[in-house]
Amino acid sequence: MTLQISTNTAAARASYNLGKNNSMLQRSFDRLSSGKKLVSPIQDPGSLAVSMKLSAAINRLAGAQNNSQNAMSYLEVQDGMLETVGNIIDRMSELKGLSSQDPMKSAQDKASYSNEFRDLQVQLYDIATQKFNGVSLFANFVSTDTPDVYGAEAVFNAQNQDRSQDNTLTIYTSAEGSEGSKVSVYKALLLSALTVGQDKSINHRFSSADNANAAIGDTTSPLSFASERIEGTISLGQISVNVINQALENVAFLRAQNGGVQSRLSFN
């Protein structure tokens, strides 16, 4: 084996610079092909760590944005349902007026109005059971002493919020997850809002929105405008206009509550 010693300094320097330039050119190609400034930790370990953290934060923010958009869609669908409920209660109020305030109506006419009134109650219950992508739009109104398969109790009381029991979903709106900002989305207490005359201090037995056991005229027995079955509905003669107006005010409160949460989400 022979050892060659070159004394051509210019050629050696040119070869060294060529190799160095080829290495830098390859690094530039790597950046261009990957779209990244740093393609290897050896280039700048500190900057690479910062970059990875920022990329993770951006991905989490994208997820939070998607969560907020889904929550907004949920609230928009919920508000549409509540608007329909308000229209149905308006129709109920109209039926009450047509039935009781017109002496020209025959017994058959009044029976027809009452039948529609009962059908609308079943429709209200159907609306209260609607879901958005498998998630209930409205909380279940359950008894304080009877277990319910759907979960915790939900009681509406617009006049005294201390006696209300809300059912909420937590939406995280920042990259910090549970440690960052969040918005509570209400599962509207529709069934409870449609149950007028309720008192949180008594034991409710109206989780199925059935008025069959409620004594008409008994102020401690709540009456529901929503019924799972036609046999559990109330007739026009069993209810006053003031009670209908109270139910309408309750629904208006739920829509205002929905609008407030939508406003909060729009600022996140």
User: CB-based burial of residue 247 (10 Å sphere; 0-12 exposed, 13-18 middle, 19+ buried)?
Assistant: buried
HSE-up of residue 117 (Cα within 13 Å, Cβ side): 27
CATH number of the domain enclosing 138: 1.20.1330.10
Instruction: Identify whether 8 is part of a domain.
Output: no
- The count of domains in the chain is 1
Angle at 93 between CA 107 and CA 234, to 5 degrees: 60
Q: Decide if pLDDT at 26 tops 50.
A: yes
User: Does any domain span residue 20?
Assistant: no
Q: Report the interhelical angle of 45-100 vs 107-128 (nearest 10°).
A: 170
12 falls within a domain: no
| More confident site: 182 or 7 | 182
Q: Are 74 and 135 in contact (CB under 8 A)?
A: yes
Residue 9 lies in a domain: no
Which two structure tokens, joined as six digits, stand for 45? 């370990």
Residue 28 lies in a domain: no
Q: Is residue 18 part of a domain?
A: no
pLDDT reported for residue 201: 38
User: Cα-flanking dihedrals φ and ψ of residue 184, to 5°?
Assistant: -90, 120
69 is in which domain, residue-wise?
Answer: 49-266
- Does residue 164 or residue 10 have the better pLDDT? 10
* pTM, entire model: 0.70
User: Which residues contact residue 27 at a Cβ distance below 8 angstroms, ignoring those fewer than 6 apart?
Assistant: 39, 43
Residues 6+ apart with CB under 8 A from 154: 139, 140, 141, 142, 165, 166, 167, 187, 189, 191, 192
pLDDT in tens, 140-151: 765 444 444 344
> Is 124 buried (19+), middle (13-18) or exposed (0-12) by CB count in 10 A?
buried
> What was the pLDDT predicted at 76?
95
Give the integer Cα–Cα distance in Å for 204 and 107: 35
Nearest to 80 by CA among 4, 137, 10, 18: 137
What is the band of 155 on the pLDDT scale with cuts at 50, 70, 90?
A: confident
Can you give the pLDDT at residue 260?
A: 92
